[in-house]
Structure 1
């Protein structure tokens, strides 16, 4: 799962241009990202650049069919889909023999085969109290037997996890098979094993050799390996010579001619299709666009601010068509949201007046105005946190949050006693105390400034004082996890085709991890826990819908929008297509 910055700050354009890395003898795919990477150790990262690079280096046992829609699980390093018990509490994975890690000094000059113990070790790392991770809750919610107790023992002793201590719920059965046992039924647990950022295999020798420097030394079984890295500027991947023979095999939907043509062109081709991938990190929109327009980039996610010029009326501009440039638009499995810290002294709590305050703020803010002015209508206004395309999304659900209805918002505050007591034009708490909203945001960012202006305008018209606390992305995440922010807007994207991930943002025990709002409502928690154990069907859908309604009623979050993303490719590029739940697109991208 990834926290995503939708906002760009400073430019990281190298002084010598994007093509600063030495020329490659083979085919080099040139791409650009707008978010600075943090490193390449899966448990520690959640930014989309690091997550995307990791997806090309590390491999989970399962993956998703590249073209099939809806999402379809397929084996990756596994020989087949897992054996699953009838009560959804036991999962057995069998690996393909003969898969090897990329060569590394940690292996003493010998080929190192992927074995079941590597997955056992990699999952245990999420439970190590000395490894900070936002993703632990995804394993904890499934209740892998014995791991919580193992983590607690390490935490109390103030040391690293005892990786050699066996636990009932996670063990290697033999060289190629491992077993997972759960405390509670988890019908969708296998989805976690299709996410390289959660279940990608690392070798223990590599982790122990590099220690704190591990984020700069990723070694996996995937199609690429890290060749060169200039932090915040350029990442160069090269083909992994140890990568097994993998041929393209996918089933395109019958109603998607573009995917059908792609399947026909790629069928049987050996992967990956290029020798190197050069990833430039450029945060500002204009330099990215100029580099693509000038032929320095092969693939570009169209900057939203430039969509009106490149996609007038939703169609690729004629001058781009004439150059053979192609465009493919997809609705991202992400939601941009603002959280309200429910433990904050001014805005938190579940009392009627505090709930009314948060709902009034949500009513007053205008999502469609934000989509228009900030994101140039490259998105869909959200009705809840759950995104389209995942199981449990309800297209009929309609909320009033984000409607810009100032009249109703003012009336709600009046009813619950938020009035201007001292005559300064701003409302106070019902008990007369000063009320000031504090919105966090990215420092020195042009889009953030526009968003701040929208918040200031709407809150001032509502009669609420608002101040802005600017900081860097990593600093803001740290403060959020520690409960020190009152409000902050960013986007969450998912690698799981299910509503559970977004409901987990409101689950009480996840406070300090994914539940930035620190929302804790027993009725919601019970619903969340029950739907997790139910198989897909009408009963579970009813629980998901009721859980969403509780989130809308208590307003720990304001859902803003789901991003519409457009990938532009030069005429010589083929095979590039964005999958909603995987990020290893460069595996399938080729150059004529």
Structure 2
């Protein structure tokens, strides 16, 4: 397919042509980026892959965005003038839009400048209910907006509901059927970005090929699955406001950006680079401005003893360790005939498996030091995380062996592996015990298999591995047909609820792959989700952690510390825990890039 060129490209070029002579003489500031997978259609209501979401958050505007510098994360107004007015009962949110925000040019507007209104947000949110779109983001609003059953019974954009109203041009009022402490996070996602009805209707079924938003960038050239160019939106009204910490680097970014119009560069050139080696070599050759999450298999190319190699540091590159909002864990099926159940013998077996796990070896050898031990389901940076909490289940093979001996797994085969009590047999009768762990059919998957084999064999447990594609393992997991599997969860939004829901009983068969269903846990989860972040919720989270460690449906493993490297000419870089890109805030020292290029 030939490159797609939007009308926005011509508009921007015309604007540049009429600029001052000084501006025309200045070399353009260009960010050079890559995406690790191909993009799909650029429709906020439909796209769900990370590559496409990375583009969408630069093209479309939700009501709210995250403060770039604030940690823990917090929201601030984007197209809204600020955070909404919230009624005392927590059900009504009133947003006020900033006047003067316009969609980028498109023939659908027939030559007129098209201002964003509250009605546009009503339309955009309704699109998530449109059954023809099958939006993966409908869960954010489905059943939560007051009266939205009318949209599901017989969908029509003309249907008005009390939960979604625009009383005037710049006021949006949203009413919920029940309080939801995470609701504002949904309004900072790319899926809730505003679109224009005229554009959607001008390209039936093709909205993803004609992205027209209000973001800091607009689409320039687009060669599918190969190259995308984003151009600075000349009508962008975004202005930077941030809350820096005491960190001098944060304060320097705030000083450079505070009150400045966004974006800071003229263009972003994005390539699709699926191979690890291509990304790494491209970065080292100066083709990309930063590299996030150095692949484990290539860490030795750039890092030595936890530090950037001297030749790279000598070129001015900088290494950052970034705590990703991600938890790796190994779950066990609570309904499995071998591992499942809530009796003492099964609890002892799962506890022994948890005690066998050697986190130090995992972090040192497999994660190359770029991870930290997971004490609970929550990674640092998520609201509700308790830095003082420590798991009561350490790496202790001796204790694991003692537990298994005590609770009926004391008999062994001639080859030294433990046997289990025979089901329905006489007291003392045993039968062979073999654990089955599913694993990904990749090099990394095989390395993890060997770690688990070593850990489990050390306590006398035989394990076999069943390799398959991850998508197939997940399908089988939802049907309850997988005994054990090592998985990971990345935060959809930075709140503890997003992680603790993975063990909530009613979510069994969905995100709760362990099929853990403990009334004591479920009650505390339901209580916690009605509370905002604070001491009362923190106490409930602590009690939920203790229940997880008591029954061991999970073995919390690690939280990744991403190894990120940036080039010396890149300015204002700070990775955000939730947003996918920093492109709007970044700046480029063109002269420094040229000097570096000549020095290579």
TM-score range, shorter chain: 0.7 to 0.9
Q: SS in structure 2 opposite 1:457?
A: helix
Q: Which residue of 1 aligns with 2:391?
A: 399
Higher relative contact order (CA closer than 8 Å, sequence separation 6+):
1
Distance 1:44 1:435 in 2: 46
Distance 1:50 1:318 in 2: 35
What displacement does 1:386 show? 0.8
Q: Which of 465, 468, 473 matches 2:466? A: 468
What displacement does 1:312 show? 3.7
Mapped contact 1:195–1:495 kept (Cα < 8 A): no
Distance 1:343 1:100 in 2: 54
TM-score, normalised via structure 1 length: 0.82
Distance 2:409 2:137 in 1: 38
Q: Which of 164, 173, 193 matches 1:170? A: 164
Q: Which of 255, 268, 273 matches 1:264? A: 255
TM-score, normalised via structure 2 length: 0.81
Q: SS in structure 1 opposite 2:493?
A: coil
Mapped contact 2:236–2:262 kept (Cα < 8 A): no
> What are the Cα deviations for residues 183-202 of structure 1, in whole angstroms up to 9, with x where unaligned?
333345323322324x2234
Give yes or no for the alignment of 1:48 onto 2:50. yes
Mapped contact 2:92–2:173 kept (Cα < 8 A): yes
Give yes or no for the alignment of 1:374 onto 2:374. no
What displacement does 1:263 show? 1.9
Q: Equivalent residues in 2 for 1:271-310 (5 A)?
A: 271-305=262-296, 306-307=298-299, 310=302
What displacement does 1:404 show? 4.0
Q: Which residue of 1 aligns with 2:77?
A: 75
> What are the Cα deviations for residues 263-287 of structure 1, in whole angstroms up to 9, with x where unaligned?
2223343321223323334344433
What displacement does 1:535 show? 3.7
Q: Which residue of 2 aligns with 1:196?
A: 190
Q: Which residue of 2 aligns with 1:508?
A: 505
Mapped contact 1:328–1:577 kept (Cα < 8 A): no
Distance 1:211 1:464 in 2: 57
Distance 1:383 1:44 in 2: 36
The worse-fitting range, judged by mean Cα deviation, of 558-567 and 42-51 is: 42-51
27 and 361 in structure 1: CA distance in 2 versus 1, 3 angstrom threshold: same
Distance 2:448 2:68 in 1: 36
> What are the Cα deviations for residues 149-174 of structure 1, in whole angstroms up to 9, with x where unaligned?
457646xxxxxx44443333333333
Mapped contact 2:102–2:116 kept (Cα < 8 A): yes
Q: Equivalent residues in 2 for 1:12-23 (5 A)?
A: none
Q: SS in structure 1 opposite 2:31?
A: strand
Mapped contact 1:367–1:404 kept (Cα < 8 A): yes
146 and 317 in structure 1: CA distance in 2 versus 1, 3 angstrom threshold: same
Mapped contact 1:392–1:545 kept (Cα < 8 A): no
103 and 512 in structure 1: CA distance in 2 versus 1, 3 angstrom threshold: farther
Q: Supply the RMSD in Å over aligned alpha carbons.
A: 3.4
5+ residue gaps in structure 1? 1-23, 155-160
Mapped contact 1:426–1:465 kept (Cα < 8 A): no
Q: Which residue of 1 aligns with 2:242?
A: 250
263 and 406 in structure 1: CA distance in 2 versus 1, 3 angstrom threshold: same
Q: Which of 324, 342, 362 matches 2:316? A: 324
Give yes or no for the alignment of 1:145 onto 2:146. yes
Q: Which residue of 1 aligns with 2:23?
A: none
What displacement does 1:520 show? 2.8
Q: SS in structure 1 opposite 2:550?
A: helix
Q: Which of 448, 451, 456 matches 1:451? A: 448
What displacement does 1:587 show? 0.8
Give yes or no for the alignment of 1:181 onto 2:166. no
Q: Which residue of 1 aligns with 2:426?
A: none
The worse-fitting range, judged by mean Cα deviation, of 419-428 and 306-315 is: 419-428
Distance 1:420 1:482 in 2: 33
Runs of 4+ in 1 over 6 A off after TM superposition: 419-422
What displacement does 1:397 show? 1.6
> What are the Cα deviations for residues 381-422 of structure 1, in whole angstroms up to 9, with x where unaligned?
111111112221112222255x44333334444444457787
Distance 2:372 2:253 in 1: 27
The worse-fitting range, judged by mean Cα deviation, of 240-249 and 528-537 is: 240-249
Q: Which residue of 2 aligns with 1:337?
A: 329
Mapped contact 2:215–2:233 kept (Cα < 8 A): no
Q: Which of 26, 29, 48 matches 1:27? A: 29
Mapped contact 2:437–2:484 kept (Cα < 8 A): yes
Q: SS in structure 2 opposite 1:63?
A: strand
Distance 2:208 2:345 in 1: 46
206 and 464 in structure 1: CA distance in 2 versus 1, 3 angstrom threshold: farther
The worse-fitting range, judged by mean Cα deviation, of 46-55 and 539-548 is: 46-55
Distance 2:214 2:399 in 1: 56
Distance 1:35 1:359 in 2: 39
